[in-house]
């Protein structure tokens, strides 16, 4: 499943091609995504795209009439195509723009979503209870300490809770905890302010670095064969269970925590 950096790189890739363009036509080939595509999405036709934003893993195409909320699910991708080739089996949604370019949603597993929303975003159930964005000032030591106070759950599990902070998925939770020297099973409410400050710093660093890497390694978002997926990254622990720790040389341990693969160094993380 694409995590926040992949979604942010997608946003950065498509924004220059969409913002300021008018949607000429909406083509829904298969409405059976995670939630059925509302026929009211046709109201997007004739609307100018004012901005392309992101909230957590949701992309928001804002117009005067409403907002198209897109989610890539587990296997989805977006491309801006000009000219657009014939659609394939998994090309479920096209936005045809006034300059003849096409924004195309491809989603083999159909766990993605395309939601036409005309009420204030604050009223959208998917967005209502989300925590702060990790790369903003709202995600800070004070916020994290307050959100974790009294929690006995593992810090890695708490860090992946979107009510605490959005977008810190499994890969980046592993990496940030290693960089901060915090054991993933440590009780979330039993971490000092100084260590939480370091964790906040590392969450921001690993996500920002991943976004930077994605911006330089992904294929062009105007190419039909460009798939975002996970871009090549320099990972210190994720996927390296049983290998040597890059810091101390000890063997990295791998366990399941909250049904997710968790890799850590028993020597460097306490």
- Tell me the binding residues for DNA: 90, 109, 151
> Is 2 annotated in the active site?
yes
**Nearest to 241, CA basis, from 256, 229, 231:** 256
- Asked if residues 92 and 60 have their Cβ atoms less than 8 Å apart, the reply is no
The phi and psi torsions of 15 (rounded to 5 degrees) equal: -55, -50
SS3 165: coil
Q: Which of 11, 54, 57, 198 is catalytic?
A: 57
Residues that constitute the known binding site: 90, 109, 151
Alpha carbon distance 46, 157 (integer Å)? 44
Q: How many CB atoms lie within 10 A of CB 170?
A: 18
> Is 31 annotated in the active site?
no
Which 8-state DSSP code applies to residue 121? G
- Asked if residues 44 and 63 have their Cβ atoms less than 8 Å apart, the reply is yes
Handedness of CA 48, 51, 55, 57 (dihedral sign): positive
Q: Which of 3, 6, 8, 175 is catalytic?
A: 3
Q: Which of 2, 134, 184, 228 is catalytic?
A: 2
> Is 55 annotated in the active site?
no
Q: How many CB atoms lie within 10 A of CB 43?
A: 16
Alpha carbon distance 187, 156 (integer Å)? 9
Find the distance separating the first CA and the last CA of the chain, reported in whole Å: 29
> Is 3 annotated in the active site?
yes
SS3 56: coil
- Catalytic residue numbers read 2-3, 57, 260
């Amino acid at each position: 499943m694409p995590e926040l950096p992949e979604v942010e790189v997608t946003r950065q890739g498509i924004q220059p091609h969409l913002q300021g363009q008018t949607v000429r036509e909406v083509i829904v080939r298969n409405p059976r995504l995670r939630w059925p595509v509302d026929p009211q999405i046709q109201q997007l036709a004739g609307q100018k795209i004012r901005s392309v934003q992101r909230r957590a893993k949701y992309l928001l195409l804002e117009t005067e009439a409403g907002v198209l909320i897109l989610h890539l699910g587990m296997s989805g991708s977006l491309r801006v195509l000009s000219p657009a080739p014939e659609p394939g089996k998994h090309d479920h949604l096209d936005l045809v723009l006034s300059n003849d370019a096409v924004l195309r949603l491809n989603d083999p597993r159909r766990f993605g979503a395309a939601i036409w929303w005309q009420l204030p975003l604050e009223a959208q159930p998917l967005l209502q209870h989300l925590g702060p964005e990790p790369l903003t000032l709202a995600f800070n030591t004070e916020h994290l300490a307050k959100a974790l106070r009294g929690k006995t759950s593992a810090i890695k599990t708490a860090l992946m809770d979107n009510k605490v902070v959005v977008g810190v998925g499994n890969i980046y939770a592993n990496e940030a905890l290693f960089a901060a020297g915090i054991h993933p099973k440590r009780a979330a409410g039993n971490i000092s302010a100084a260590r939480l400050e370091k964790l906040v710093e590392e969450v921001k660093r690993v996500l920002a670095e991943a976004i930077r890497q994605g911006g330089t390694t992904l294929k062009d978002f105007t190419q039909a064969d460009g798939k975002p997926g996970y871009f090549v990254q320099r990972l210190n622990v994720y996927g390296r269970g049983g290998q040597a720790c890059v810091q101390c040389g000890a063997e990295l341990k791998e366990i399941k925590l909250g049904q997710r693969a968790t890799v850590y160094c028993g020597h460097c993380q306490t």
